[in-house]
Amino acid sequence: MSHNLARTSRPHELASRLNSGLRSAIISAIGESAATTDPAIKTAANPKFGDFQANFAMSLAKSLGKPPREVAQQVIDAAPQSLIDICEPFEIAGPGFVNIRLRAQVIAEALTEMDCPALGISNANRTHTVAVDLCGVNVAKQMHVGHLRATIIGDTIARLFERLGWRVHRQNHLGDWGLPIAMTLAALRRARVDLDRVTLDDLNTAYRNAQAEGRDDEAGLAAAHATQVGPHRVAELEAQHEGAAAAIADAHDTLRRLQSGDTIVVADWQKLIDVTMREVYETARMLNVELVPEHNRGESFFRDRLAPTVDAFVHANLATRDAGALVVRFAGRERPLLIQKSDGTSLYATTDLAAARYRLQDLGAELVVYCVDARQRDHFKDVFDAVQLIGWTKRPDATHATLVHVPFGAVLGADKRPLKTRSGENFTLKALLDEAIARGRREVHARAAIPDSPTSSMSSAELDAIGQAVGIAAIKYADLSSDVGRDYVFDLDRMVSFEGDTGPYAQYAHARIAGILAKAAAANAVSGAITIDTPEERALALNLLRYPGAIEDAASQLAPNRIAAFIYELANTFNAFYQACPVLRGVDESTRASRLHLCELTRRVLADALSIMAIAAPSRM
């Protein structure tokens, strides 16, 4: 799922300085033949062995015919001064590992450099453009748990690239065109429903009823006649057949009027969209997701681009006739891509091709990301391959744009099956969020009732606001912290917990630090120059310095779970620091000032990382 994302080297990113220094040492010691050797630097599994460990000697030893420890020593002896200046004396361990410990002053200087508004993350990427396909609701239908994943995964990926300075186009691909929506609109018009007062629940019911009403059983009617099942059953099937035929005919007439721009039908169609999107925007607001009307690029937006899209494939000799339909074939694959039916109508694939062309050519995206469930994997492979065949990925500078499908798994219930209500229906997203908010509020109110709690003096409305933030964080973090391609079990009890790898735990870590800083301000204590003296200070500092790389890595891999992993590790590292290193009492002034500086920087990084996941960072919990 990875794509090319140029990393920006920064002086405070010590791992990159170690990497370049060791590469230089390898070339000096072995020669240009070893220029491509990876120093293989990893964070040390056990801090007592150092901060990092390099494992280049084994691979070099094999090609050189020398013992690995001898090769390791040879490279260390050739270390450039720039590497010696930032490291304590190297140690060779085991069969040839090189243990590396950074000088404390170097770590402190790197943290001080990172302590700026950007937190060490380069945002000088304004020439880069990405389009992110997210949400993708169908008009006249309730949002369900699948839309949760499409929405928050897409929003987080968009925020990642915004944080890195890219120009980001959110694209909400609405299902707002074609026969299904025409069937629903026709049924509502036949029933003379007041579309100025209709609710999304009404539309959801009308959508299901319209689908059922248009369902024909022509084969059953023929069988009934052939087997002489009786006049009552035949009459019933004939009535069903006639009713379905009439409903379909009405739907086709409504679609024709809609496509021809009939002002009355278009106005009614727009009312269905408005009702649907009101709830979508409200849900996005609850989730802290950035989604507004200007992001909507529904099927209707591309309706005038469908014929030119098909024509482009025909003129490029990439589309062939198959039983009257137009298909695009791929070498070595039996499955063709159908882009036009035999009756001349278009399909989802046609719209997706038109959308890809728009995103690549009109928006100028060098990367297009599709956050759509894993069941669409084959569909998007075919669409992407067709786009590449026709050459739409080629950019003016002769480079090629990249299209990536981020396939997400299902949300499962305790029975390990797709999450359903007790009645067997899909959970609506709104019901899920309402339950999470209610659970978060109960938890926050219960904690506020404990004497000396930081929130004990807060009003009920203030506690409700924190509870809502906790509930939403619980849902979002649980989703985003898992590998997006995997299914996960929805367990609200675990999600709302203030312990373990959860959203509330991350929020509580931020609130705890905010509380420390508030007490420091009340005592007129101020932060100052950072010094690194204890193992816990060192561990926290090194964790903070990994933040810019963690963000770039998450963007490169299109993996929001890597942000969550960083947050969890930072929260744990801070808690270990806090337990071992007094901040306000029992320390001299310079130590207190240094540790307050570490606290403030940790709070800012936690808040920034949570903001990329669009999770609130309360100051009190």
- Do 398 and 441 lie in one domain? The reply is no
Let me know if residue 229 belongs to a domain.
yes
Supply the pLDDT for residue 246.
85
What's the whole-number mean pLDDT along residues 13-33? 93
Confidence at 212, pLDDT banded by 50, 70, 90: confident
- Do 449 and 546 lie in one domain? The reply is yes
Let me know if residue 70 belongs to a domain.
yes
Reduced 3-state DSSP string for 239-250: HHHHHHHHHHHH
Q: What percent of the chain has pLDDT over 70?
A: 92
Which residue range is the domain that position 362 belongs to?
129-175+315-412
Supply the pLDDT for residue 353.
98
**H or E element at residue 567:** helix 561-580
What's the whole-number mean pLDDT along residues 230-238? 47
**H or E element at residue 381:** helix 377-390
Encode pLDDT of 482-503 as tens digits. Answer: 999 999 998 988 999 999 999 9
Alpha carbon distance 292, 250 (integer Å): 33
For the cut 60, the answer to whether the pLDDT of residue 243 exceeds it is: no
- Do 255 and 329 lie in one domain? The reply is no
For the cut 60, the answer to whether the pLDDT of residue 133 exceeds it is: yes
Confidence at 15, pLDDT banded by 50, 70, 90: confident
- Do 400 and 497 lie in one domain? The reply is no
Encode pLDDT of 533-549 as tens digits. Answer: 999 999 999 999 999 99
Query: Exposure pattern of 115-154 as b/e (b: 16+ CB <10 Å)?
Result: beeebbbbeebeebbbbbbbbbbbbbbbbbbbbbbbbbbb
Let me know if residue 41 belongs to a domain.
yes
What's the whole-number mean pLDDT along residues 166-180? 94
For the cut 70, the answer to whether the pLDDT of residue 8 exceeds it is: no
For the cut 90, the answer to whether the pLDDT of residue 214 exceeds it is: no
For the cut 70, the answer to whether the pLDDT of residue 221 exceeds it is: no
CATH number for 487: 1.10.730.10
Let me know if residue 472 belongs to a domain.
yes
- Do 407 and 532 lie in one domain? The reply is no
Confidence at 204, pLDDT banded by 50, 70, 90: confident
Number of domains making up the chain? 4
Supply the pLDDT for residue 4.
57
What's the whole-number mean pLDDT along residues 89-94? 96
CATH number for 33: 3.30.1360.70
What's the whole-number mean pLDDT along residues 162-170? 97
- Do 319 and 228 lie in one domain? The reply is no
- Do 491 and 596 lie in one domain? The reply is yes
Confidence at 239, pLDDT banded by 50, 70, 90: very low
For the cut 70, the answer to whether the pLDDT of residue 473 exceeds it is: yes
pTM of the model: 0.90
Written as six digits, the tokens of 574 are: 């801070």
- Do 460 and 599 lie in one domain? The reply is yes
What's the whole-number mean pLDDT along residues 233-242? 45
Select from 245, 260, 275 the last residue of a domain: 260
- Do 521 and 586 lie in one domain? The reply is yes
Summary mean pLDDT of the chain = 91
Supply the pLDDT for residue 9.
41
Let me know if residue 579 belongs to a domain.
yes
Higher pLDDT, 178 or 522: 522
- Do 596 and 450 lie in one domain? The reply is yes
What's the whole-number mean pLDDT along residues 393-400? 94
Let me know if residue 447 belongs to a domain.
yes
For the cut 80, the answer to whether the pLDDT of residue 126 exceeds it is: no
- Do 496 and 581 lie in one domain? The reply is yes
What's the whole-number mean pLDDT along residues 42-46? 91
CATH number for 341: 3.40.50.620
Question: With contact defined as beta carbons under 8 Å apart, do 609 and 547 qualify?
Answer: yes
Supply the pLDDT for residue 236.
47
- Do 480 and 542 lie in one domain? The reply is yes
Residues ≥6 apart with Cβ < 8 Å to 332: none
For the cut 50, the answer to whether the pLDDT of residue 238 exceeds it is: no
Let me know if residue 184 belongs to a domain.
yes
Let me know if residue 277 belongs to a domain.
no
